[in-house]
Structure 1
Amino acid sequence: MEKNQSRKVYYVFSPWTRLFHWLMVGSIAVLFTTGLYIGNPSFLGNQGLEPTYAVNNWFSMEKIRFYHFTAAYILLAAIILKIYGFLVSKGDRLFPHFWTKKFYAGAWDTILHYLFLRPRHRPYLRNSLARASYAGLYFLILIEIATGFAMYFGINPHSGGAMLFHFVGYIIANEYALHLVHHYVAWIIVLFAIVHVYMVIRDDLLEKNGETSSMIAGVKFFAEEPEDLRDIR
């Protein structure tokens, strides 16, 4: 820890989680954009062109699908990095402790602050609401991976990938429902991203704890010792 204008520096996030974060951001952006086109080639409006219209073949349906599947594999690789970070770094294990009273006390403390009923909340490396929301995001991403690969490998039902993701068919009734789940979960993830960006900017402006830069440098700044410091010690 070092002094920084009466604040202390706490190293929280490993390089693995930071790399995971930015790979996730980039891959999800590509997946969502290309997914919209794959699902509805005229979602930008009727241009009077065939859906396979391309500039030197860079934007043909074949290429768009290639970008989509490549981004999916990058996201899967990012998840593996996150799992590795979870195993080697305590700062990468800031998940919600639903089984503790401290989690609910922290959530209530943060809610009151966000509703402007309390001028500030206690300092946290990652507050209870953030922990729960990120856990929810990872769950949604796993749904996208499972449904996406189930559709991808479904074209060859005898392949190893099809057998690996065959269980999805027991959970979701038919292929049409599979597409719908994949589509709507993608929108939920995008809505999460919008709220996430707002909350990060808000935290940087009001709390000044280095929330944005923490995903670059891995550190946060606090004038008081964070309530959940023991989680990384």
Structure 2
Amino acid sequence: MSGKTAQDLNVLSSVGAAGKDRSADRDVVYVYEMPVRLWHWVNAAAIVVLAITGYFIGTAVPTMPGEASDNFFFGYIRFAHFSAGYVLTVGFLLRIYWAMMGNPHAKQIFYVPIWRRCFWDELWQTIRWYALLAVRSEKCAGHNPAAQLMMFSMFTLTTAFMIVTGFALYAQGSGQESWQFRLFGWIFGVLPNSQDVHTLHHLGLWVIVTFVLIHVYAAIREDIMSRRSISAIISGERDLRD
């Protein structure tokens, strides 16, 4: 028997069977294509810059020593904010394009299938899972129903709102002849008081910040509890496991 006893063969066969059992509990699915992964991390960096600089623009900035003409601190803050805003906008437009050209998972953040009965059933099951009332979660290759609802309502819609109001406020400085005013100046017909636009734009910042906190918590929790969420946005592959 080539040096292998019957007992050795039994051990090897049992190990092989155990390996098959473990592999049966795991499904590796290619979810996030390279453009989506690249957009995710560039968009995350832009949001961090926008959140920090937007906070200082909306509130008081630190007092700088010396003459005001010797410092350009607030100017640098505004430049970083506007630059990150352009990155966010271009990325958002490209993301819309890839939602039409990419795989089905690329479309999930732009709609919520509220017309489907199964969506509401799965949403309730997902809520019970997050509330620690369910033992198992539904295996979803892409976003689960709760994540899809949060992504659409708190991220996609809020990002679109921030882009529109942000460029409208930018148009006040660039003038009525600028393309920013021609495309986004209509917002002042809806909200004639510029301060209202400033206030709503600033409130949008806190909606995005709240979403980021929930998003990061849920991604880490899912990575530990049921599926690899964090590594999926790096490699593109999601490892579903029981």
Provide the TM-score with structure 1 as the length reference.
Answer: 0.85
Q: Deviations over 1:143-196 (max 9, x none)?
A: 110000000012202222201102212332310000000001101100110111
Larger Rg: 2
Distance 1:80 1:115 in 2: 35
Q: Distance in 2 between matches of 1:51 and 1:16?
A: 47
Calculate percent identity across the aligned residue pairs. 31
1:21-40 equivalences in 2 (<5 Å)? 21-40=40-59
C-alpha deviation, 1:63, in angstroms: 1.4
Distance in 1 (alpha carbons) for counterparts of 2:74 and 2:63: 15
Gaps of 5+ in 1: 225-233
Cα 1:223–1:198, aligned 2, differ >3 Å: closer, same or farther? Answer: closer
Q: Which runs of 4+ in 1 moved over 3 A?
A: 46-54
Query: Aligned Cα RMSD in Å?
Result: 2.1
Q: Is the 8 A contact 2:29 2:237 kept in 1?
A: yes
Distance 1:80 1:11 in 2: 24
Task: Tell me the residue number matched to 1:165.
Answer: 184
Query: 110-119 or 135-144: which moved more?
Result: 110-119
State yes or no: 1:13 paired with 2:32. yes
1:87 matched to 2:106? The reply is: no
- Which residue is equivalent to 2:9? none
1:95-136 per-position Cα deviation (integer Å, ceiling 9, x unaligned): 421111111011001011112221122211221110111111
- 1:104 is aligned to 120
Aligned ranges 1:184-223 → 2 under 5 Å: 184-207=203-226, 209-223=227-241
1:134 aligns with 2:151: yes
Counterparts of 1:40-51 in structure 2, within 5 Å, are: 40-42=59-61, 49=65
Q: Which one has a larger percent helix, Structure 1 or Structure 2? A: 2
State whether structure 2 residue 81 is matched by structure 1 residue 73.
no
Give the Å deviation of 1:53. 8.9
